[in-house]
Chains A and B, each alone.
Chain A
Amino acid sequence: MSRLWWEIARRSFRRASSYRLATASGVFVNTVFGYLRASILIFVATAAGGSIRGQSATDLATFAFVSQGFIMTIGAFGDHELAERIRTGDVVIDLYRPADLQLWWAATWFGRSGFLALARGIPPVVLGALAFDLEWPDPLWHWLPFLASVVLATTVGFALRFCSNLLTFWLLDNRGVEQLLTVLISFFSGLVLPITLFPSWLERIARALPFASMIQLPTELYLGRYDGMEIVSVLAQQAGWAVALLLVGRAVLRAATARVVIQGG
């Protein structure tokens, strides 16, 4: 069976790669935002006398570009393909297949993420490094927890969007929910501002939410803020959110299926 998920992911990767113009313009936009965010954060650090809350201007510029690099990979802005299939009723066809719907969409999601990691992940960081002084994981093995963390962040991103897409079964139009989720992710994940710059009470809240697992935590791992067992605990926290949200998605899927099967969608 696992072969199936691989085949789906592979095709999803290929499909994502066929939108060349979108990829090119996406890289451009991501890079511009990286420059913008880095400039603002450097300004803040400089205004604060070179560093703020233990973070130097270089730390913050790196934060901006690295997060800008994997923001597409983790699907921070979502995807509405499933919602669309629900809205049109085509999802009924998906229920006719002897394959798990959640795993199906997860495979689609990861296939696309794989492409986005390469095409939208690396270029903005490289282009950022041309103009800004950026840091690289040090020691070298810190790449490993960082990459694992991005995979977990991608899973959290999928789990959240799977749930919000499924709400279309009840709402008919889930765009409001999607937008709300995008706002929550943007704010609490550290995308708009690293949550370390929040007032400490707000930072505590942000760290208690799943959104921090999407951007803040992977970036902190990249920057080497954690070591030893701390790394394990950060990854475990992300994995915990991933599993919990996937289970919620499963429950929502079951409820949605029951609704279709009993009420006729």
Chain B
Amino acid sequence: MAQVVRLAAVDKTYAVRTRAGRVRRRRREVRAVSDVSFTIESGEMVGYVGPNGAGKSTTIKMITGILTPSAGRIEVLGLTPTVDRRRLTRRIGVVFGQRSQLWWDLPLIDSFELLHHVYRTERARHDANLAAFTERLDLGGFLDVPVRQLSLGQRMRGELTAALLHDPALVVLDEPTIGLDVVSKYAVREFLSETNRERGTTVLLTTHDLDDVEHLCRRMLIIDRGRVLLDGAVDRFKAEHGNDRTLVVDLESAAEPLPLRTGQVLRTDGPRQWIRFDRRRTSAAAVIAEVTAAGAVRDLAIEEPDIEELIRRIYASRTEGSPGDGVGL
């Protein structure tokens, strides 16, 4: 299979000027990405995750040719992004969750029509794509509405369409689900996975929502402080690092930490207790049964570890020198 994206030892440092005294400015270098290498094959769907400021957007900007790497090499669809940006723009689609490429004052359909002229797509293909996307993303009801009047979820569906109308080989999305409700998130995910499946579009997306990655991607890259901590299959990662669950219970009244066999109370706050258990050893039902036997329960919920938590653990396991060391799962 062809390589769509290839990063080799990529660094990016930003020069930041900070005040030092009344007039003097000090030039400081912020290393946003360091020594990042990975490749993405045609047809893959990769989740790129990491905490705030990890370097995700910086990587995406370099891949799409909007930012020059300070060191290292990047190749996308056989092109060097910053050198061949114009040529590359025809073959990639980009979505920034926080930004819009739609025309604010114009009806949604006008933005699509303009994109037809921007990319000089064939009329028939444009119409066919638009019809397909309209149906899948349920755009029919607001194609004629000015973009500024759309809800965030509606707008994001418009953004996805705009990014994919010209049949890009690669689509890069920076937090496409940010701020969306469950229904809209679901629509976005469905759409992306269908597009990937049916058109063979390669997808790279960043997100803070591990659910996105779980539902969409077979592979994920975890980046933190500019370095890739892990690059591997999502399933395997979860099997190795994401097996514990936290049961949050609200008891009728404040109590001492419940003495439990199936799990362990992490902390308490008045009537609320956080109980950790390993889902490989006990079922949630068993823990709940033991808790309800131990005291009157008013409410309960089960939490999965989030990305930040998992990254903390990867760090911990690495510093302990455990088998997690090898990183490449």
Contacts and interface: CB of A to CB of B under 8 A. Distances in A.
Interface in A131-166: none
B99 A90 contact: yes
B85 interface: yes
Interface stretch (B114-122, B282-290, B302-310): B114-122
Interface string B196-219: 000000000000000000000000
Contacts, number: 63
A93 interface: yes
B106 interface: yes
B58 interface: yes
Given A11-B110, A90-B100, A99 B14 contact: no
A200 B27 CA distance: 50
B296 interface: no
A97 B118 contact: yes
A261 B118 contact: no
Interface residues of B, number: 31
B90 interface: yes
Given A261-B66, A264-B14, A264-B61, A11 B85 contact: no
A7 B90 contact: no
B80 interface: no
B152 to A, nearest CB: 16
B89 A97 contact: yes
B119 A264 contact: no
Contacts of B106: 11, 14-15
Nearest to A98: B89
Interface in B64-104: 64-68, 82, 85-87, 89-90, 94, 96, 99-101, 103
A95 interface: yes
A99 B103 CA distance: 15
Contact of A261 (B68, B94, B96, B100): B68
A4 B90 CA distance: 15
A89 interface: yes
B194 interface: no
B113 interface: yes
Interface in A1-55: 1, 3-4, 7-8, 11, 14-15, 18
A92 B99 contact: yes
A260 interface: yes
Interface in A63-94: 88-90, 92-93
B105 interface: yes
Interface string A243-265: 00000000000000000111110
A93 B100 CA distance: 7
Secondary structure class of chain A's binding surface, majority of residues: helix
B89 A18 contact: no
B15 interface: yes
Given A92-B99, A96-B89, A7 B113 contact: yes
Contacts of B118: 4, 97-99
Given A11-B110, A261-B66, A262-B68, A98 B119 contact: yes
A96 B105 contact: no
A92 B66 contact: yes
Given A93-B99, A96-B64, A261 B114 contact: no
A4 B120 CA distance: 9
Interface string B139-157: 0000000000000000000
B67 to A, nearest CB: 5
Given A7-B117, A96-B89, A18 B67 contact: no
B114 A8 contact: yes
A212 B125 CA distance: 49
B101 A93 contact: yes
A201 to B, nearest CB: 40
A98 B90 contact: yes
A264 B106 CA distance: 29
B96 A93 contact: yes
A264 B58 contact: yes
Nearest to A258: B68
A96 B94 contact: yes
Contacts of A97: 89, 101, 118
Nearest to A5: B117
A95 B85 contact: yes
13 contacts: A1-B120, A4-B114, A14-B106, A18-B105, A92-B96, A93-B100, A96-B94, A97-B101, A98-B86, A98-B90, A98-B118, A260-B66, A261-B82
Interface of A: 1, 3-4, 7-8, 11, 14-15, 18, 88-90, 92-93, 95-99, 260-264
- The 4 A-B residue pairs with the shortest CB-CB distance, nearest first, are A4-B117, A93-B101, A98-B89, A15-B105
Given A88-B99, A93-B96, A96-B94, 17 more contacts: A4-B114, A4-B118, A8-B114, A18-B105, A92-B61, A92-B66, A92-B96, A93-B94, A93-B99, A93-B100, A93-B101, A98-B87, A98-B119, A260-B66, A263-B14, A264-B12, A264-B58
